[in-house]
Structure 1
Amino acid sequence: MRLAFSTNAYMRFPFEEAADRIAAIGYEGLELMADVPHAWPAGLLDGPKRSIRSAMERNGLRFSNVNAFMMNAIADYRQPYWHPSFIEPDEGYRRVRIDHTRRALDLCAELGAPHITTEPGGPIAPGQSRQEAIDLFVEVLKPLADHAADRGVLLLIEPEPGLLLETTDQYLEVADRVGSPALGLNFDVGHAFCMGEDLPVQIAKLAPLTRHYHVEDIAETRVHHHLVPGTGVIDFGEVFEAIRGTGYDGWVTVELYPFVDDPDAAARAALDRLRPLVSARSEV
């Protein structure tokens, strides 16, 4: 396993400086935010793309993932991370999310990243049944999964509390109906903990479909608020032992977007807590 850090904690820094800082702290990779101010795909010109590649090469970093979940560039008054969603009742507004995802897949392929992560359907709208929302989400995902396959990358869905797919088990129904090898699961450990999931059990169960992990700590209340690993109550020793037990040897990305005031301190503390757990593999 290798540890990466998400640039969504560095929204007050240009990408090049974020990459410099993440590498200096000691991470091997980073998750690129396909959003302002780092890499909003709809307006990303060749010059900024070259700058992104140069910063990665200069720092010896690799892409763990491209985060296409957040859409701060749209600045929806309801919630800039969740909206517009894949299940918006308004077809035109829904199209904004779909087109953004296609562009993020294109960017992912162009930069040589392995996959993008995106939201699990968005909030169910008033008057919309859960089954209607699931059907719409599946309809939207099928051509996006085809586009991912055509581009040689993966499209990963990230269950999240409050959205259509809240648990890792709920991902299974959608994955089965889409039926594409280009679709995968982004297993967010904190989100699963918020939903009361048995982490070692679910990590083992979903291992055949999991292509990437997000980690952050959560308070004992299980309220969805990302904390630095070691400051909440998640047993990360147990979590990493379970991940290691599946044979997974890919990226684990630390996602601490609430810590924009001092992302360096958050990133450093997380690495201090998690690096011994990742390194434990070589000691077995």
Structure 2
Amino acid sequence: MTLHLGYGTNGLTDLRLDDALGLLADLGYAGVGLTLDHMHLDPLAPDLTERTRLVGRRLTSLGLRVTVETGARYVLDPRRKHGPSLLDPAPEARAARTDLLVRAVDVAAELGAHAVHCFSGITPPGTAPDTAWKRLTEAITPVLDAADRTGIPLAIEPEPGHLLATLADFHHLRGLLGDPPSLGLTLDIGHCQCLEEATPAQCVRDSAPWLRHVQIEDMRRGVHEHLPFGDGEIDFPPVLAALAATGYQGLTVVELPRHSHAGPELARTSIDFLRNAMTRGTIGTRKGGAPC
């Protein structure tokens, strides 16, 4: 049983992308969670296709796998964090988010990524739940069409405070959409600790059929704060053993978006911590596809 460890570029925003990728390869990571943002493969700047090809060649030369992530805070609107969302009251605003996600799917296809990550967004004030779910299903449908076209699954993340906040909400969306095969799940281990009734290990087991992407960090119950490993409450060996037992072959990406000031050091200590936890759980790791 093996896990493929990655690190998110949203936790390395003080580094140039080339430097961030080189760092992760040198540390022994198998891949990267690449957040499309103004400092890392800007999805709205000119010549995206050519820039994506250059990144793809860099990833290949370093032996790194990739997931495309779309949680950039201000990539669409410099004044609204994560705005506009798929739930925005204005149709043209929702369309802007849909277009960004379709673009992300195309970038992922060029890079050979194993999934594209996204989330629903926060329900706008005064919006009825039925209206919010209707907006989400309509706005995400073209993205699922792009996922079907490219063969790159869309992996939506339950996010505390969002319309789609829990695993139960993920299954509700699946039902509304008719269970499309291109819709999968991003499971954030910290969010399980924060919000779910089940333990993080049980969440992994329950989610196994739909897992397309995994994010990992430490967290405390009831507090949505991404923490370095050891600063929260999660017992990681059982979680990692459960994840390996599912047969999941995508990336397990360290998600520390508020710690870029210490990104290089945290990338080092994080892989050391996870390797130690996997050793205690007798789980193997892979770097670039080769046993280590």
Q: What TM-score do the two structures reach when normalised by structure 2?
A: 0.90
Instruction: Quote the residue 1:263 is aligned against.
Output: 263
Equivalent pair of 1:5/1:27 in contact (CA under 8 Å): yes
Instruction: Quote the residue 1:206 is aligned against.
Output: 207
Q: What TM-score do the two structures reach when normalised by structure 1?
A: 0.92
Q: Name the structure, 1 or 2, with higher relative contact order (CA <8 Å, separation 6+).
A: 2
Consecutive unaligned residues of structure 2, counting only runs of 5 or more, are 286-292
| 1:83–1:135 distance in 2 versus 1, CA, 3 Å | same
What letter matches 1:24 in structure 2?
D
CA distance in 2, matches of 1:197, 1:203: 13
1:149-160 matches, within 5 Å, as 149-160=148-159
CA distance in 1, matches of 2:30, 2:210: 24
Instruction: Quote the residue 2:98 is aligned against.
Output: 98
CA distance in 2, matches of 1:214, 1:91: 30
Instruction: Quote the residue 2:74 is aligned against.
Output: 72
Instruction: Quote the residue 2:140 is aligned against.
Output: 141
CA distance in 1, matches of 2:106, 2:46: 12
What letter matches 2:273 in structure 1?
R
Instruction: Quote the residue 2:232 is aligned against.
Output: 232
- Aligned length in residues: 278
Per-residue CA distance 1:69-103 (angstroms, 9 max, x = gap): 22422344342xx3211010011111110110010
Instruction: Quote the residue 2:62 is aligned against.
Output: 59
1:1-284 matches, within 5 Å, as 1-43=3-45, 45=47, 46-63=49-66, 65-79=67-81, 82-119=82-119, 121-178=120-177, 179-198=179-198, 199-219=200-220, 222-278=222-278, 280-282=282-284
Tell me the secondary structure at the aligned position of residue 148 of structure 1: helix
The structural deviation recorded for 1:282 is: 4.4
CA distance in 2, matches of 1:55, 1:282: 26
| 1:161–1:76 distance in 2 versus 1, CA, 3 Å | farther
Structure number having the greater strand percentage:
2
Equivalent pair of 1:146/1:180 in contact (CA under 8 Å): no
What letter matches 1:38 in structure 2?
H
Equivalent pair of 2:43/2:103 in contact (CA under 8 Å): yes
Deviating 4+ runs (over 6 angstroms): none
